[in-house]
Structure 1
Amino acid sequence: MKHNNDPATRPGFYMGIDIGSLSCDAVIVDDSLAIRGFSVVPTGARNTEAIRRATTEALNQAGLSNTDILATVSTGYGRNRVEEKLAAVTEITCHARGIIHLLPETRLLIDIGGQDSKAIRLGPDGRVTDFAMNDKCAAGTGRFLEAMARALEVDIDQMATLDEGAQENLTLSSMCTVFAESEVVSLIAGGKPINEIARGLNRSIASRTLSLVRRVAGDDLAVLPTAMSGGVARNAGVVQALSEALGTPVHVPGHPDLVGALGAALIARERSDRT
């Protein structure tokens, strides 16, 4: 990614790239911090190809070229694969910066991505004061939901509303992807309705996430304005189950999977020579 060194009188554009395990996201903002273009593409086996596709699509949407970008900041597990970046910044910092821009009242952020989960506590100034991560197991993440969708023989997008009409308080006994998949198959064979199984999956994810959140929220959990980012935030069933488990509403921005890339773009603006 080339960076333009034209005089400060020329309009400035800044890019953030979030390279995750499931998707590569790119966001472009201008000097006023307005989003001018964005893209979400599957990461696949080749990080560099995903980065190229995401940046090209975001640039095309914004009607810009590489030379219009004054600074680029990368984040995500593949952040060091981005060439000619101004900086590589952690997901914690970028997600915090992005959510505060979108939902300024947020004091607790839950980010569930493709392969890990994070709980981030924010101070009144929007800075990170504490965080906890679950990066040892894929349980409750995007990959977990993909495996459960396969077991239920539905498209991953259908999982968001698959629990509609469910009444039971079913909870899966195992969150290990392999054992949970076997349990789902057994429940299907036993005649359990699909919507009840989906609700049980969502409740299990919420229960696992609750223990992570408590590590950073403590006794303040019920009074902390809470938001969610990451691709799993598009799953309305998981969001509702989390709200019930936490005992507080969980707010989701319009494009939750872009929060990290947006935060990276905003940091690119802050750190560029134009500030």
Structure 2
Amino acid sequence: MLYGGIDVGAQSVKAVIFDGKKIIGNKSVVTEKEADAAAKEVFEDLLTELQYRAQDVGKVFATGCGAGEVSFADKKSSEQICAARGGRWLVPTARTVVDLGAEGCRVMKLGPNGAMEDFANNAKCASGTGSSIELGAVYLKVSV
């Protein structure tokens, strides 16, 4: 079975198709569109690129500040939980996951079994952290 993931952030929308074991494909687009329309567009574009149809995907999960607006999501989950699970999937021995977004930063502490034990979000004065890193990367000519 295929699964879809949508992350509607403050600056961009990301989509991923996952088969339960590996990532089949992903797409990220910077957009100023309304959350649901942007999510649909990015998700449909990714499906087209991968030569799949929406009905090929069993469940779609949404996260991010605009997750509540994604009309086609079967389930919505917090940014902290999704980042913790994704970090653990990418690096099974991870005990700390840091998520730098366009307007915020989150740090999650994972236990030995991978479950999130604690998390912290940035203070308002630190918002824009991800955008600042992205801008610095442009000037340094490195990818992030």
Q: Structures share a fold, TM > 0.5?
A: yes
Give structure 2 stretches of 5+ with no counterpart: none
User: Residue in 2 aligned with 1:94?
Assistant: 82
Residues 102 and 128 of structure 2 are in contact (CA less than 8 Å); yes or no, is this contact kept in structure 1? no
Match of 2:92 among 91, 104, 118: 104
User: Is the Cα–Cα contact under 8 Å of residues 95 and 109 in structure 2 kept in the other structure?
Assistant: yes
Of 23, 29, 33 in structure 1, the residue corresponding to residue 18 of structure 2 is 29
State the structure with more CA Rg.
Answer: 1
Aligned-pair RMSD on alpha carbons?
A: 2.1
Alignment match, 2:104: 116
Matched, 1:80 2:68: yes
- Please point out which of 10, 16, 40 is paired with 1:52: 40
2:56 corresponds to which residue? Answer: 68
Question: Matches of 2:19 and 2:109 in 1, distance apart?
Answer: 28
Where relative contact order (Cα < 8 A, 6+ residues apart) is larger, the structure is 1
Q: How many residues align?
A: 144
In structure 2, the residue matched to 1:158 is 138
Please identify which structure carries the higher strand content.
2
For 2:8 and 2:119, locate their aligned partners in 1 and report how far apart those are by CA, in whole Å: 20
Q: Secondary structure at the match of 1:118?
A: strand
Percent identical among aligned pairs is: 32
- The C-alpha deviation readout for 1:129-181, integer Å capped at 9, x for no partner, is 111101523445123446xx4xxxxxx6523458xxxxxxxxxxxxxxxxxxx
Give the helix-richer structure, 1 or 2: 1
TM-superposed CA distance for 1:111, in Å, is 1.1
* Equivalent AA in structure 2 for residue 89 of structure 1: S
**What 5-or-longer segments of structure 1 have no aligned partner?**
1-11, 150-155, 163-232, 235-275
Query: Is the deviation greater in 96-105 or in 46-55?
Result: 46-55
Determine the C-alpha separation between the residues in 2 that align with 1:160 and 1:92.
29
Q: Structure 1 length normalisation: TM-score?
A: 0.48
